[in-house]
Amino acid sequence: MKNYFREGSREPDNRRKISTDANCSCLELSKFTSIFYQTESHPATRTIVDGATAFSEGEPVSHEKGRCPETSGKGKVFDRWIQRYLDMKTPFVKTPLIGKEMKSHTEYLTFNLPTRMGFLNITPTIEEIVRKSGISEGLLLCNAMHITASIFINDDESGLHEDYKKWLEGLAPFDASPQRYSHNRTGEDNADAHMKRQIMGREVVVAVTKGKLDFGPWEQIFYGEFDGRRPKRVLVKVIGG
């Protein structure tokens, strides 16, 4: 019996051994591969032969990598099972970032809506920032930097926005008096705005693919204001290569 996991593996509970006698069968080997490679958290980049380097995509499986040398003639069976896993490609998605220097681009936007509650489509502004960043593959983060404002993604449809206002006002109606909201006993009058912000969210993260925001159908980015008539900042950061 030989342990085929690298010593000091971070998943000691998942260690398995392969029988090395003449009865070592294809079934045993298939069970081993299914146990060892059961999820994407256990990709074939893990070294399974003591002292060998890790697998890499497209690298042929050899006697030193991914086989059971002690099983006379059975190592080839093991090779085939490992190669079948490698051919699945799922854990080895190549991205254009490999070999490129990671970079980031940051901008701060300021919005001052004339109403207490309102929504503003900021998608064109964000798209221009992505273009200026020069990043073709990566992630965009956009978040409101005030606790009574939101950034969210949804449809740019005026009826939906009116529905949002009615829905939010029903959940957390504006009331400046301290009787309804304990927060207003501090001298504030915007407890409802904090709650509305909590519901609509602080930020969005959008994939950048080929230099553009990788949206689903009808998706747009909005700034949501719940205690307006004063300037508030929004952070936009693009990371990638």
pTM of the model: 0.61
In a domain, 97, yes or no: no
Which range has the top average pLDDT, 20-34, 58-72, 216-230? 216-230
* Residues 82, 51 within the same domain: yes
Last residue of a domain, one of 69, 92, 115: 92
107 with 199: CB under 8 angstroms?
A: no
CATH number for the domain spanning 131: value is 2.60.120.460
Question: Are 232 and 124 members of one domain?
Answer: yes
Structurally, how many domains does the chain consist of? 2
Q: Which token pair is 91? A: 């854990």
The tokens of 28 are what?
Answer: 């045993």
Q: Are 204 and 142 in contact (CB under 8 A)?
A: yes
Question: Cβ(95)–Cβ(117) under 8 Å?
Answer: no
Which domain covers residue 132, as residue numbers?
103-240
Residue 186 lies in a domain: yes
Residues 53 and 153 in one domain: no
Please check whether residues 122 and 68 belong to one and the same domain. no
What are 112-171's pLDDT values in tens digits?
999 999 999 999 999 999 999 999 999 999 999 999 999 999 999 999 999 999 999 999
Examine the domain organization and report whether 8 and 108 are in the same domain.
no
Neighbouring CB atoms inside 10 A of 124's CB total: 10
DSSP 102-125: -EEEEEEEEE--SSSSEEEE-HHH
- Could you tell me if residue 165 is inside a domain? yes
Token duo for residue 64: 């030193």
- Whole-number Å distance between alpha carbons of 241 and 149: 30
